[in-house]
Chains A and B, each alone.
Chain A
């Protein structure tokens, strides 16, 4: 063991001194951000995870936009939904890589703030995509779909579609403490004209936006309240999970399922009638607009600011009176994923 330590210590020492040496002489004239020659504008995109199709599409939107404007896109993601530290690391690395701007869908709206502030201090334009930071002005701008509005829209549709029938509602939500889920949920209740804690809401369960978990949640809700007749879901995978659970009980015909998101698979499910309607959002647009904003910033220094809504449309083939909607043909044309 002695030998180990004896050889290991010099190894460590030489490693450390090598690092110091590099440190001392390596910090050359390079500025921290943006000033790396006249190459293409570097844009960073940091999504919540690598695996969610929503973010995959967002990446594609950003890539297409970057190609069009001659920018160079680099991407990163948290390891799991909620991984703040991974996103912090990604911001740091992108700043080190000399990006001009960073587009980020924060995993933790509060925890990410110090890292964003660091990046902005170094002259990097930071745009929050999809979900706001907390406080919202911690980032330069927010490009997002209005999740509250999307929820409200689907809530209003549900109210109209129920046509005065008393509702027993199940809400299949995202996860505790995640803004998107909370906003869509609140919006739905608002659109339906009820408040949290209303007896009409018979069951609320978290699904993480996952089909299998959505199914489990619906099964459990049916155990709790077999007479549920309206299901709100955070997204279409959760909705399809709920549909499977309802079908197993033979209830798929007389329960109204509504959702938010508007992915292509989801829109197909609206077309086939598994889901009654969904609030379609346009994530590709957010990323594309984000890249454009960074390129504009690089070109003439104009900073995007404030909140930019990328829009929402109600997609359904069973229009309800008083709520404007697009049909699934439109939905499929404009869907993501």
Chain B
């Protein structure tokens, strides 16, 4: 282990009973990002009276659900010490496939959605197969796949934005009232997905194996874990999640847009990193990713409310990523004996 290797997701070095709350906060991977998120919220609530309104907070969640969901898939892959540059492009292709099939009207909308998610899953499978069996570096494989998905999107869509979609595709963008605030179904779906994967990673053998694979594929293999199947499954699953993100995107914008998602791959990686997951694999948590995505959304929204131009939002997000990684490393090193 190198000294930079952060202690894990799991558990403070001492039994929790004996460890102070503060210590738990420092060692918990999601704690730092969460504190940052709350601090940002506090700051913006002083800067803009609109910020803390229910409508605005619901808006922030809506705005991060697409990138957040992509980042969920991305987290799974990064936990295995991989990276997926193709996620945004794959999502865009899924978007176009489901939108076009549904708009043409020859297929029932549900089948169109399934087909869109299906092609995303196939891309995930292809990524996974190339990484697992051909043993190519994930960076290169997914870079290639990014271009393939991008091109297919433009070929298949004929550069046309698809409109006039059936209600089923945009249903997740509909809202229901909670108190006096409208919440979109998509926001709920996103949060439920995150909770599901927090459970799967934290409480099932599959989750432990995923972390073990990220720590060291060789250790995992020698322990008897079927690493090839596991890795292939994770990439495919990530593809399915991108497909769900595609549906969320369609529902959010109400159209199938071939130009969507071009920077979403890096945005998703940003959310993962802000959420405290290590790019070296094996350490992190999906709920951190949700917090990371929310941090980006809160800054974008809060700065807009303050009237700060979008290029400064980009500037600040860049600074935040570096800050997040630095703080994370620093606090973990300190705790480490």
Report if A and B touch in the complex (beta carbons < 8 A).
yes
Contacts of A2 in B (CB 8 A): 10, 202-203
- Give which listed residue, B31, B198, B260, contacts A84 with CB less than 8 A: B260
- By beta carbon, the residue of chain B nearest A8 is B287
In the complex, per-residue mask of B50-67: 1 if CB is within 8 Å of any chain A CB, else 0: 101111111101110010
Q: How far is the CB of B303 from chain A (nearest CB, A)?
A: 9
CA A36 – CA B48 in complex, angstroms?
A: 11
Q: Given A89-B300, A94-B304, A96-B305, A27–B59 Cβ distance below 8 Å?
A: no
Contact partner of B262 (CB less than 8 A), chosen from A28, A83, A111, is A83
Q: Specify which of B159, B163, B180, B304 is in contact with A93 (CB 8 Å cutoff).
A: B304
Q: What is the interface of chain A, defined by CB distance below 8 A to chain B?
A: 1-5, 7-9, 11-12, 15-16, 19-20, 22-28, 30, 32, 36, 42, 50-51, 59, 72-77, 79-80, 82-86, 88-90, 92-94, 96-98, 107-111, 113-115, 176-177
8 extra interface residue pairs, beta carbon distance < 8 Å, beyond A36-B49, A74-B307, A74-B309:
A11-B287, A22-B57, A23-B57, A30-B49, A89-B63, A92-B59, A176-B159, A177-B258
B100 interface hit (Cβ, 8 Å): no
Contact A111 B257 (CB under 8 A): yes
**Minimal Cβ-Cβ distance residue in B for A107:** B259
Q: Contacts A5-B199, A12-B287 hold; do A26 and B304 have CB atoms under 8 A apart?
A: no
A8 contact set on B, CB distance < 8 A: 28, 30, 198, 202, 285, 287
Residues of B contacting A20 with CB < 8 Å? Answer: 178-179
A114 touches B201 (CB 8 A): no
Chain B residue numbers with a CB within 8 Å of A83 are 259-260, 262-263
B160 interface hit (Cβ, 8 Å): yes
Q: Which 6 pairs across A and B sit closest by C-beta, in order of nearness? A: A5-B202, A23-B54, A82-B259, A177-B159, A24-B179, A93-B304
Contact assessment for A1 and B207 in the assembled complex, using a CB-CB cutoff below 8 Å: yes
Q: How far is the CB of A41 from chain B (nearest CB, A)?
A: 13
A-B contact number at CB 8 A? 191
Interface size class of B (residues with CB under 8 A): 35 or more
A80 neighbours in B (Cβ, 8 Å): 262-263
Q: Which chain B positions have C-beta within 8 A of A73?
A: 307
Among B160, B287, B308, max chain A CB count under 10 A is at B287
A59, A90, A115: the one contacting B253 at CB < 8 Å is: A115
Chain A residues near B202 (CB-CB < 8 A): 1-2, 4-5, 8
**Distance to closest chain B CB from A80 (angstroms):** 5
- Complex alpha-carbon distance, A30 and B252, angstroms: 25
A contact face: mostly helix, strand, loop, or mixed:
helix
The answer to whether A4 touches B9 (Cβ under 8 A) is: yes
Q: Is B90 an interface residue (CB 8 A)?
A: no
A213 to chain B, nearest CB (A): 16
Q: Which of B165-200 contact A (CB under 8 A)?
A: 178-181, 191, 195, 198-199
Contact A93 B59 (CB under 8 A): yes
> Min CB distance, B11 to chain A, in Å?
4
Closest to A7 in B: B28
Check if B53 sits within 8 Å of A28, measured CB to CB.
yes
Quick one: closest B residue to A3, CB to CB?
Answer: B11
The residue on A at minimum CB distance from B262 is A80
CB closest residue in chain A, given B163: A110
When distances are taken between beta carbons in the complex, the residues of chain A under 8 Å from B191 are 16
A-B contacts, 9 listed (Cβ < 8 Å): A1-B203, A3-B12, A4-B285, A26-B181, A27-B179, A74-B307, A96-B53, A97-B50, A108-B255
Q: Any chain A CB within 8 A of the CB of B1? A: no
Nearest B residue to A44 via CB reads: B304
Residues of B within 8 A of A93 (CB): 59, 63, 300-301, 304-305
A128 CB to nearest B CB, Å: 16
In the complex, A9→B194 CA distance in Å? 11
Say how far B268's CB is from chain A's closest CB, in angstroms: 13
* B281 CB → nearest A CB, Å: 15
Asked if B216 lies at the interface with its beta carbon under 8 angstroms from chain A, I say: no
B31 cross-chain contacts in A, Cβ below 8 A: 11
> Please, how many angstroms separate the alpha-carbon atoms of A30 and B181 in the complex?
13
Asked whether, in the complex, the Cβ of B252 is within 8 Å of the Cβ of A96, the reply is no
CB-contacts of B39-55 with A (<8 A): 48-50, 52-55
Which residues of A are found within 8 Å of B291, using beta-carbon distances? 15
Answer yes or no: B311 CB below 8 A from chain A CBs. Answer: yes
Contact A108 B259 (CB under 8 A): yes
Residues of B within 8 A of A3 (CB): 10-12, 16
Given the known interface contacts A11-B287, A89-B63, A97-B305, the answer about A1 and B9 at a Cβ–Cβ threshold of 8 Å is: yes
Check B55 against A96 for contact (C-beta < 8 Å): yes
B331: interface (CB < 8 Å): no
Residues of B contacting A51 in the complex (Cβ-Cβ under 8 angstroms): 311
Residues of chain A with a CB closer than 8 A to B49's CB: 30, 36
Cα A114 to Cα B285 with chains together (Å): 35
CB distance from B105 to the nearest CB of A (A): 18
